[in-house]
Amino acid sequence: MTILIVEDDRPLNDGIALSLGGAKTLQAYNLKEARVLLKEAVDLIILDVNLPDGSGLDFCKEIRSFSTLPVIFLTAYDLELDIVAGFAQGADDYITKPFSLAVLRARIDAVMRRHGPAACVYEQEGFFFDFDNMIFKVGETPVNLSKTEQKLLKLLVTNRGITLSRDKLMDRIWTDGAEFVEENALSVTIGRLRQKLGGAPIKTVYGIGYVWER
């Protein structure tokens, strides 16, 4: 699991990252850095409300315009009105400072359990993908996808609207310990997906990678 921590207090940001030893962490100290890091494949965001270059509330609303990516607010604002505002913008949880790192880890686990099954089904614009049961349809027509194609498709649709770099996709898809993967393996797999899912909104972002357009 990859967690993006958006917190301008550097010691706190570092402390959270260290406490989440079982996950890969990306660290941002402002919204500008967070937007850049969101180009990576992220599974969850820990987000401060008050950041140097804007509001975490507005950023959460921005994310919700294209993604169901889980967001946990971590903030000193503990008034009922602040908490309600956080949930109104689409937060999955709201933790006030000071807090226990053990509680934070438990909240992360709870949020990911809630999101896990939902994230495995995608139904939109004539496409139906059930990754748990390996059922894929375009309209009413079943589509047969290889394991590699399924992994790539899941990464794209669960991060829709976010450009995923070629390196990130290669690292996340070919995880079987193979010492050598053909340089064009990703391009070939993308081509096969496009052919099988005619009309799929898979866009090439030249020089970077690919995005499932929202």
Q: What are the tens digits of pLDDT across the range 79-108?
A: 788 888 888 988 999 998 888 888 888 889
pLDDT of 109 reads 87
Q: Are 73 and 56 in contact (CB under 8 A)?
A: yes
- Calculate what percentage of the chain has a pLDDT beyond 70: 94
- Indicate the residue type of 109: D
What's phi and psi for 84, nearest 5 deg? -60, -40
Is it the case that residue 117 has pLDDT exceeding 70?
Answer: no
pLDDT of 80 reads 82
Task: Name every residue whose Cβ is closer than 8 Å to that of residue 38 and which is 6 or more positions away in sequence.
Answer: 4, 63, 162
- Indicate the residue type of 106: A
Distance from C-alpha of 174 to C-alpha of 64, rounded to nearest angstrom: 29
Using CB atoms within 10 A of its CB, is residue 183 exposed (0-12), middle (13-18) or buried (19+)?
exposed
Give the residue carrying structure tokens 């996340």: 172
pLDDT per residue as tens digits for the range 153-205: 998 988 778 888 888 888 888 865 444 567 789 999 999 999 999 989 999 99
Q: Are 93 and 107 in contact (CB under 8 A)?
A: yes
Is it the case that residue 136 has pLDDT exceeding 90?
Answer: yes
Give the residue carrying structure tokens 């997906």: 193
pLDDT per residue as tens digits for the range 26-75: 999 999 999 999 877 788 999 999 999 999 999 999 888 877 889 999 88
pLDDT of 118 reads 47
pLDDT of 180 reads 58
Q: What is the pTM of this model?
A: 0.59
pLDDT of 181 reads 67
Task: Record the tokens describing residue 153, joined without a space.
Answer: 């498709």
Using CB atoms within 10 A of its CB, is residue 111 exposed (0-12), middle (13-18) or buried (19+)?
middle
- Indicate the residue type of 136: F
pLDDT of 39 reads 78
Task: Name every residue whose Cβ is closer than 8 Å to that of residue 13 and which is 6 or more positions away in sequence.
Answer: 5, 7, 27, 29
Give the residue carrying structure tokens 């949930």: 87
Distance from C-alpha of 141 to C-alpha of 104, rounded to nearest angstrom: 43
DSSP bridge partners of 28: 6
